[in-house]
Chain A
Amino acid sequence: MGLKLEEIRSLIKKALPDAEIKIEDLAGDENHYSATIKSKAFSGKSIIEQHKIVYKALGNKMGNELHALALNTKEL
């Protein structure tokens, strides 16, 4: 269980190369993170679609290895 912060960052970066990413390990347990992500890919998309883009980037890890990732997405 658990996913390294840098691994999350690199998965997001791979899917959204232009993204500005800020990730925090909230509990220090590699399982509860919060991420603020800015990308042009979010423009014109609903917040649900924006979060889905991030979840897709993380493959099937969200809800499995990764228990909690609070998301805050913004258009760049």
Chain B
Amino acid sequence: MDENLKIKINKYLEDNEVCLFMKGTPEVPQCGFSMAISNVLKHLNVNFKGINVLEDNEIREGIKQFSDWPTIPQLYIKKEFVGGCDIIKEMFEKGDLQKKLKEKNISFKTN
């Protein structure tokens, strides 16, 4: 994939511990799947950066190559690709997402 695009994506991941590449914004998601992850993160009080791929077609296509994952949303925690909507929902329900956040030293609400 294009080197500059890779650098651009890496910059997002370096500047933000928790990055959600999504359709729309955390305030106004434009897709139910993006909304689902965004809501999980809000519920856990995780501080995250939402990157609206609908505003940047280069990122929209590039992020799929970057992670070798064909769909959006995509969640990254400390530069690691953790999953899309199904995986994050399942991890959250099993408590694995909370474990992952803890492992990575990301603060969240535990109750």
Contact = CB atoms under 8 A, between A and B. Distances in A.
Tell me, yes or no, whether A binds B.
Answer: yes
Contacts, number: 29
Dominant secondary structure of chain A at its interface with chain B: mixed
B70 A63 contact: yes
B72 to A, nearest CB: 8
Contact of A48 (B64, B71, B87): B87
Contacts of A62: 70-71
Max count, chain B CB within 10 A of own CB: residue among A51, A60, A72: A51
Interface residues of B, number: 15
B70 A55 contact: yes
A51 B69 CA distance: 9
Given A55-B69, A63-B70, A48 B86 contact: no
A40 B50 CA distance: 36
Contacts of A70: 85-86
B87 A51 contact: yes
Interface string B59-79: 000001000111110000000
Task: Name the 8 nearest CB pairs between A and B, nearest first.
Answer: A63-B70, A62-B70, A63-B71, A55-B70, A70-B86, A71-B86, A47-B87, A48-B83
Interface of B: 33, 64, 68-72, 81-87, 90
5 contacts: A47-B90, A51-B87, A55-B70, A63-B64, A72-B90
